[in-house]
Chains A and B, each alone.
Chain A
Amino acid sequence: MESVECTDSTGGRPVRGGSPDRGRVRLWHIVTGGVLLVLSAFGSLFVGVAEVTPWGLLHADSAAVLVFLESRVPRLLAILLAGMGMSVAGLVMMHITRNRFVSPSTAGTTESASLGVLVATLFAGSEAVFVKMGVAVVFALAGTFLFLVILRRLTFSDMILAPLVGIMFGAVIGSVTTFFAYRADLLQTLATWTSGDFSGVLRGRYELLWLAGAVTLLGYLYADRFTVAGMGRSFSINLGVAYDRIVNTGLVLVAVITAVVVVTVGDIPFLGLIVPNLVTIVLGDNLRRILPVTALTGAFFVLICDVIGRLIRFPYEIPVATVVGVVGAGVFLALVLRNRNRTA
């Protein structure tokens, strides 16, 4: 066997020692980000097959107003909530596992949530949204815990090995899901959870995402404690922080956000991985300070990808997951290879 050398210079530490002027999030960062987001959000409201223009709305074109209120606005809100939620979930996950490359899409969390939705659909029918969400949360939690158990069996915590195991773990869960979906002839339905798409979002079909929004906010309140937990178990206990409880809280938070997003719009691959990483590279990683930026960036990123998906093959729509999949895999790859060059 090739003996594998795993001298990990960044050793289980997601934290980059930023230079003093990096890692400082100033108000104008957030304000600029916010303005950009608002502008593009406003723009996105008028991108779509049905012609909706600000002019039409002002003149109370009833068809346009209907499309606007029933479809465009809900869609925008869904995009923002899902983008913020998944990015923050990824950020929290990377802190509590102390690994930059561990996120809901590289820890089996999303795949477990999908399996949960499938199980709920098989046993409770396709309409009970809250049941589906509840089951998905439980599965997402269980899956992530199982991943952490496997992770603990690795004798060293390697920056690269953990996401590798996580991706494979996700693939295994995914094959279980596919197996049962195939048996129950639910492959088409399955695709709606595994491949994120905002085109089906209408008023009355996305409101669950507000829950993800609320949980995201909760993440902000806990931010300092996650930061401490990110420094390690003994370090946290030394500071009088109940480490296990914080980690568990974080996992529940991640599971809820992931499950809600999967149930309402479907999985958006690698979103929770690349956004926090890119933000961390630029701004360092004090969680409390970068969490709002991460949320804004995530929302912005998903919005842009969704608009691209709407325009690239107009009048058809490409699902956001397909667009994010390409961008996300590319960025993830660059991050991994960059990591290698740095440590080599």
Chain B
Amino acid sequence: MKDLDPLVFVAVFQEMLGPLLWVMLLLIVAGTAAFGALLLKERTINSKRLLRAEMAGLLGGGLALVLMAKVSSSGFTDAGGPADWFLIAMVFGLGLAGTAILVYTYLGWRQPAAR
């Protein structure tokens, strides 16, 4: 009984986010595809752009924590044990990575690096 049915995930997230779920999934899929395509096209990582994306990522991670605090009527200051620190790291990490990839991709397609 402890197996997880992936359909349950979809159902729960659908109830939680409504149409926003599909917008987010679309953003994730489109963002990842555009990122992959950019890497294939350039065949390199542009370090200057990466740095800018990572700076934006830090902001994204912070925003993810703020958003989490808002919707849960609480905050990371309520952390009480290792599972909580893990959750904080995960929320921050996802916000950071997601934002960094999206910003890197956006910058890459908007102003291609000079060769």
Answer whether A and B are interacting partners. Answer: no
- Measured CB to CB, the residues of A under 8 A from B are none
